[in-house]
Amino acid sequence: QGLFTAKDKLIIVMLGDNLKFHNSLASYVFERDIQPCLAEVLGSALFIFVGCLSVIENTEGTGRLQPALAHGLALGIVIAILGEISGGHFNPAVSMSVFLIGGLNVFQLVAYILAQLCGGMIGAGLAKVITPEENYANSTGASFSTVKQDAQIGPATLAEMVMTFFLTIVVCMGAVNRHTRSLLAPLCIGLTVTADILAGGAISGACMNPARAFGPAVVANYWSYHWIYWVGPMLGAMLTGSIVRLVLGDRRIRVLFK
């Protein structure tokens, strides 16, 4: 009081230990609600475009190396440039894990997931537009087609759960938890995706991201065993949320032994 008057027309918002100043309510609402969703759409579209393209154009016999590097590098880059706006999720499973440890409210969770799914469709659509029809058809539009029979469902779902757990715990501990977060989080997250694809690509395709599965499935109209790429990652996210909440989180997050 006394520092700012009505004439200044400033909105002062207390966020944790920080003060943010806005010239208008519209500016505050835009930065709080709209800008993060736009960043999630853009980041998801760019990440999934590069990921799909790396699968569709993987015609040189590089196996899983090309998709692994492309997905990991693209994700690390978009997190580095957009993470300060939205947190750099670009993945419904990541958003779910962050929500479970108190980093998002339920309205932000729903908005983020919708934004990520829209970004996934945009990225997959752009990949379809610029690639030859033959390559696109041979790769089912970069949809996940690794699981072809019921006997593979159990191993694929478990693989998706464990690999997503690895990814989401790196996100939560490297970017959200105060005691362990690091400036190297974008690099660590990207490398985790690369490692997961190299390790588990033959089992499930190593999706770890329902938006990455949803976008190509819509564009290519390929839905075989699509549910695996929702159930597995979301279970992994819930496992991360439980472990961080119970034992690994800092005092602000942890519910036991605070």
pLDDT tens digits for range 37-70:
999 999 999 999 999 999 999 987 778 999 999 9
Left, alpha or beta for 249 (phi > 0: left; psi -120 to 50: alpha)?
A: beta
pLDDT tens digits for range 202-248:
999 999 999 999 999 999 999 999 999 999 999 999 999 999 999 99
pLDDT at 258: 72
CB 172 within 8 A of CB 97: yes
pLDDT category of residue 2 using cuts at 50, 70 and 90: very low
Q: Which residue has the higher pLDDT, 15 or 211?
A: 211
Residue 195: half-sphere exposure toward Cβ, Cα within 13 Å: 12
Rounded to the nearest angstrom, the gap between the alpha carbon of residue 23 and the centroid of all alpha carbons in its chain is: 32
Q: Which residue has the higher pLDDT, 68 or 24?
A: 68
- In the predicted model, is pLDDT for residue 17 greater than 60? no
Instruction: Report the alpha-carbon distance of residue 126 to residue 18 in Å, rounded.
Output: 39
Instruction: Report the alpha-carbon distance of residue 116 to residue 37 in Å, rounded.
Output: 8
Average pLDDT, the chain: 91
pLDDT at 21: 63
pLDDT tens digits for range 87-121:
999 999 999 999 999 999 999 999 999 999 999 99
> Euclidean distance between the first and final Cα of the chain, in Å?
35
pLDDT category of residue 73 using cuts at 50, 70 and 90: very high
The percent of residues above 90 in pLDDT, for the chain, comes to 83
pLDDT tens digits for range 151-187:
999 999 999 999 999 999 999 999 999 999 999 999 9
Using alpha carbons, select from 237, 89, 252 the residue that is nearest to residue 175. 89
Domain spanning 36-248: CATH 3.40.50.11310:
no
Q: Taking the model in full, what pTM does it have?
A: 0.90
Left, alpha or beta for 155 (phi > 0: left; psi -120 to 50: alpha)?
A: alpha
pLDDT at 223: 97
Angle separating helix axes 65-86 and 185-204, nearest 10 degrees:
140
- The values of phi and psi at residue 5, to 5°, are -115, 175
